[in-house]
Structure 1
């Protein structure tokens, strides 16, 4: 395993019975690099992340991790019984044996120190995401795994949250592995984008979205100028069942963006 990598995944396959969920996936996670997994529902994104976290064993292939790798995990959402009185401070105490100073520093890192004494039940969606992110930071992670961190956050809040994640990457020099369910939107701070539909359809570095109306029309949302597309070479497409179909030479040459083709 290269000392430059935190995680190396080689020819990974994961099946549940006769159902193949991850098919021949290879990828690496490096310090200071943000990798975003995108793809449709049921594409295997969560399964792949569970394998990275060590919660699932591969059917075949290998996952190699740095020997002392510290991982911080932020779930997509957390259901807390509304009858259970819980402040942000007490919630953070459940995450790790961290000092009061560590908890305050984690909240400061996500710009949420003012929430320390508030009830978790009173938090907005964006505030709760910041608290969950602070909780993941208490492990002082070398790898930060985020499962749809912008879930339940509006577009402006998503843009700010993505900037915050980029600043945390810069501060901690950690690798970030992030899941998104949206095939069209990839935040501008991402270093590597992987389009997954059981196998890796395409991957590459994002490109800053221009103000060209055709791009804005493609995304069809306000604030598209703050997000990014990425380029790739895509040598196949899928039918409605997800099976691979060969592309004609003309179609292949025209296929410059991984959008809603999966």
Structure 2
């Protein structure tokens, strides 16, 4: 069995006594791509912040592999707009040698922007820059909070393809949050449906049939969980509804067991 990079044991986080993350058990192993989905307020970002050590757990444990190197891609790049900062200088802030930074930029396809102002980058270019900064650390575990935020549909597909390639090249684990069900179901190995607790988890093609998934997201979305092909030209929101036109692909096929629960959600 692959090495466990992070293990969560009965992890709970409470704010003012209110559970935001409740009794979560999860293991991320080398080679995994695990995607966390869930409605707004489900505790997704809190969960990964706890893994990163940014947020303290109220109960339970976060066990990290010894000498674990983490690479983090936040949802947004927040910089003071009046601060002059080009891509080269931004990468130097990672503390990695310039050659390593340039290699990382080339791998994520933005090395031609090395002298460009960070403030003038498009959404997709910023996300690739953030991924390059994480990649420069040669991480064992990539933690991605909405990595395709602000990226157009074609850019999202390419970005998820790149994440899979980096997983293979680095033999790292990946845990990410995403709202785009259609693309993420093609880009991930396992889906975790979170609504404070883990409602259900499993292979992408199986999870959409789980009663807890249907209860949380409103209705089955089996037709929207097709394996991505490059002719795909639409996307779905959290309820599986098409939000920008086009026609669906043929349904994908999954395998394996999935786990669910029958907790009610408000």
TM-score (norm 2): 0.80
Aligned pair in 2 of structure 1 residues 166, 151: CA closer, same or farther (>3 Å)? same
Residue 4 of structure 2 aligns to a residue whose secondary structure is coil
Aligned pair in 2 of structure 1 residues 149, 3: CA closer, same or farther (>3 Å)? closer
TM-align CA RMSD: 2.6
Residue 187 of structure 2 aligns to a residue whose secondary structure is coil
Residue 22 of structure 1 aligns to a residue whose secondary structure is strand
Greater shift in the superposed pair: 219-228 or 50-59: 219-228
In structure 1, the partner of 2:121 is: 123
Output the CA distance in 2 between the equivalents of 1:185 and 1:91.
29
CA offset at residue 115 of structure 1? Answer: 1.1
In structure 2, the partner of 1:194 is: 192
CA offset at residue 37 of structure 1? Answer: 0.6
Which consecutive unaligned segments of at least 5 residues does structure 2 have?
A: 206-224, 229-234
Greater shift in the superposed pair: 199-208 or 18-27: 199-208
CA offset at residue 164 of structure 1? Answer: 0.8
Asked if 1:236 is matched to 2:235, the reply is no
Aligned pair in 2 of structure 1 residues 135, 210: CA closer, same or farther (>3 Å)? closer
Asked if 1:209 is matched to 2:226, the reply is yes
In structure 1, the partner of 2:55 is: 56
CA offset at residue 190 of structure 1? Answer: 0.5
Output the CA distance in 2 between the equivalents of 1:30 and 1:71.
13
Aligned pair in 2 of structure 1 residues 78, 161: CA closer, same or farther (>3 Å)? same
CA offset at residue 61 of structure 1? Answer: 1.3
In structure 2, the partner of 1:178 is: 176
CA offset at residue 224 of structure 1? Answer: 5.0
CA offset at residue 169 of structure 1? Answer: 0.7
In structure 2, the partner of 1:220 is: 242
Output the CA distance in 2 between the equivalents of 1:142 and 1:200.
24
Deviation by residue 1:177-215 (Cα, 9 ceiling, x = unmatched):
10113466524121111010000011111236169xxxx
CA offset at residue 15 of structure 1? Answer: 1.1
1:25-174 maps to which residues of 2 (within 5 A)?
25-96=24-95, 98-174=96-172
Output the CA distance in 1 between the equivalents of 2:12 and 2:123.
35
The answer (yes or no) to whether the contact 2:2–2:29 under 8 Å persists in 1 is: no
Aligned pair in 2 of structure 1 residues 223, 127: CA closer, same or farther (>3 Å)? farther
In structure 2, the partner of 1:258 is: none
Which consecutive unaligned segments of at least 5 residues does structure 1 have?
A: 242-262
Output the CA distance in 2 between the equivalents of 1:195 and 1:56.
21
Output the CA distance in 2 between the equivalents of 1:159 and 1:223.
16
CA offset at residue 226 of structure 1? Answer: 9.5
Output the CA distance in 1 between the equivalents of 2:252 and 2:122.
26
